[in-house]
A and B are shown apart, each in its own frame.
Chain A
């Protein structure tokens, strides 16, 4: 049973297979980790490869020690610590590289393979995409083939070795599925995860200033996906509510510090209810983007006074919530504190702003009238909706309103709120997402980062907080059709890579085809998220309940039954058919001939010799008499004759092939 001490002297093919597999496994980390670490690992792998051909190149003890220190130093220089996602993964990669260098015994090979398995796992901390899953499946197969080669010795050809590994992995899949579904899940984390400061926050930020939304507009990243139960809201009702901004210093709008408790006055809801499940991509904030406005939601979420849903913790991984929303609502009275917040201005409005607002106030007395005037102003004056507004270094709102008049949604929303406040109407800026692309393949709505949007809310007597979207006044198509990413890309293409240019080529066929592929891909990704990645302890509990598993006894019964089933299936699979693999080609051709005759009702009886059968068949089918006789004679000659020629087998095969009835 002792295998540890056995030294590892594989032939070159096995050695190179091992190196290739390890490199294959580590390759996706090229995207995740620092360049230094990646180069270090590649160098060690190449070194090992070279020393397979020139053993003199193998490093000595001292050099290995220096290499170890170098690796540790590289990790520290890049990340300033040895734990956490990036640093931890780097450390494992460095370890894998070093272990490659001193792979001498069988045990070392096992250590390398096990380390490689773990390195594969660290990649999932960066991405859990379908593509990576498929990639790792291949990687696992390769590593398993390395182990098979190590244990079978040189008799196995590389092809059989790889095939065996593939079969083994394929047979493991159903068992894996059973374990995935039934193996009891524990809600993590078991210990505090080191927080990774490097994790980039994607999506909406916690300030609004010129450029804070438009920077997202070319991002194809999905922000969330929504499955509706029942009706789907019209495009101009699809406002997904994010953080609400009250306070401005004239340039940027900021969020107040988070409050502990929220006393929410429930709005009155009316009209159609939309019930949906939203699958949020991680964005490192607590916001849950509900359709304006949410009424019912899971207990783990809380509602702020601004009707924003908050999760208990930062959404650092993909999450799912089922929510009901009503687009028709009426919020209640305004508290004095809210009124103060909703009228806050950094300093006195400029004379131009005051003049403009005074004109509106004179012509219309009620707030609704002033709002309409303001929207009319945006619509009628030469305002331009553009992704690339000119930079405004000073007095942004004033300059935008009266001088540049070119802006993106955040310009319009903030300027509108500013104007409302100047006119004495409480108003605030709401950010979130607007629209989304309906995926007809997967029947869900996909909202991408490019759909990020900012709009305004004004408090109107009798209605409460009312959503007003000044962007819709300037660029109605933006609200009705959403951002046409492809056109945006085409417009920007000059500054991007040739690949992007090709993809956004206006040749319609290609464009269409590309769009369709993207739709299919998005639905695969969504299904993957929904069915695989969101399976958690809660879902497992629901799944068990659906199967009638209430306690550990039920679970054990199911597990035992399924394990036996899987075991039997694998057992049947690995027991090959009784037929020996190398069958006599003459016999094969003859049985094909028999099959052809049997189809026409001439069946060879058991115990009937070929000669007797040929006579009977010829009498039953006189038209084929000559062929039957010739084939039988040829077969007897090849199989039992003294001087059978290889060409006779070929002739027999051809005659059988040509044989028709």
Chain B
């Protein structure tokens, strides 16, 4: 871990926003872990104060002993809280692209290189559902943080707060973590199924009932696959999710271009193009994509599709 300049070290933002994002795995250390009593902790402090006053008033030494024992246990528990986070290595996992409006899954991997187990480590991200995990010694555990992908483009992982209340729940130890971890968000494909634009002649009907009715087999589920293509029967049997793969028999060439979507706003145009790309790919057609400043030659296949979707996602940025 590189040394931190003094100015940054004293910056109070560090307690909540953490240090600058890095590509590398982050090791939680004393510099990154902060610890304060929580509400129960202040409650305990109040209890100890009352007990102390009672001990003074009655001159009762066993009462002093009980009070000091509790105080001492609370102090040691602070070290336990710290140890529960200290040394954990946080690294990033997969970054599968998603469509705007879907949930992006950030996968954080927690490695425990030490000989003691970590209990009840909680991850919080602004709006995401908090995740609780336990990391056995010498093990790595993944946590998935679900974030609603609102806009197309890069979705950066915000500050993740790793925290714990273990062991007594009277101290809140936390560490804000910033990873250079981003997920590409494709534009949301427009809902209505429009016919493919035709450079000449009749538009091709793109409804899946017609063009994509030929069942090609199964493939593994990727984030963003339409729900209705999931093979629920196998999922119910406890297998990994599979997706039914369809393809049409066309060999036609499509030229999808920005200019073909005139009359609506830019995002909607991208959405429409996105829909066409997906439908064309699903139908097994060959297609090209023309955006202002970007031209992708005619091709087909997953990587071609990804390339097209990526340029749609990043269009204008």
Contact = CB atoms under 8 A, between A and B. Distances in A.
A152 B38 CA distance: 16
Interface in B39-92: 39-40, 43-44, 47, 50-51, 53-73, 75-77, 79-80, 83
A4 B39 contact: yes
B116 interface: yes
B144 interface: no
A571 B75 CA distance: 11
A536 B60 CA distance: 9
Contacts of B76: 168, 171-172, 175, 570, 574
A152 B69 contact: no
A153 B118 CA distance: 12
B176 to A, nearest CB: 13
Interface string A191-206: 1010000000000000
A190 B132 CA distance: 47
20 contacts: A107-B40, A117-B47, A121-B51, A121-B67, A124-B63, A132-B62, A133-B62, A140-B66, A140-B69, A148-B167, A151-B119, A168-B73, A172-B69, A175-B71, A176-B65, A180-B68, A188-B57, A189-B57, A317-B58, A317-B59
Contact of B61 (A117, A191, A535, A581): A535
Nearest to A532: B61
Contacts of B170: 147
A193 B43 CA distance: 25
B62 to A, nearest CB: 4
Nearest to A122: B54
B224 interface: no
Contacts of A106: 169
Given A151-B168, A536-B59, A144 B73 contact: yes
Question: By DSSP majority rule, is chain B's interface helix, strand, loop, or mixed?
Answer: helix
Given A147-B167, A171-B73, 8 more contacts: A124-B63, A153-B119, A171-B76, A176-B69, A190-B57, A317-B58, A534-B61, A579-B115
Given A1-B172, A151-B165, A121 B66 contact: yes
Interface size class of A (residues with CB under 8 A): 35 or more
A580 interface: yes
B134 interface: yes
B203 interface: no
A577 interface: yes
B249 interface: no
Contact of A124 (B44, B53, B62, B77): B62
Given A121-B51, A179-B72, A189 B58 contact: yes
A267 interface: no
Contact of A110 (B56, B116, B169): B169
A164 B132 CA distance: 21
A169 B73 contact: yes
A150 B77 CA distance: 14
Given A1-B172, A579-B115, A180 B63 contact: no
Contacts of B93: none
Which 7 A-B residue pairs are closest in the complex by CB-CB distance?
A175-B72, A172-B72, A179-B68, A172-B73, A124-B62, A152-B119, A188-B56
B195 interface: no
Given A118-B51, A133-B62, A136-B66, A168 B119 contact: no
B166 interface: yes
The winner among B55, B57, B59, B63 for most chain A CB atoms within 10 A is B59
Contacts of B44: 114
The winner among A140, A176, A187 for most chain B CB atoms within 10 A is A176
Nearest to A190: B57
A153 B73 contact: no
B59 A189 contact: yes
A534 B59 CA distance: 10
Interface string A146-190: 011011110110000000100011011111100110010111111
Contacts of A125: 58, 60
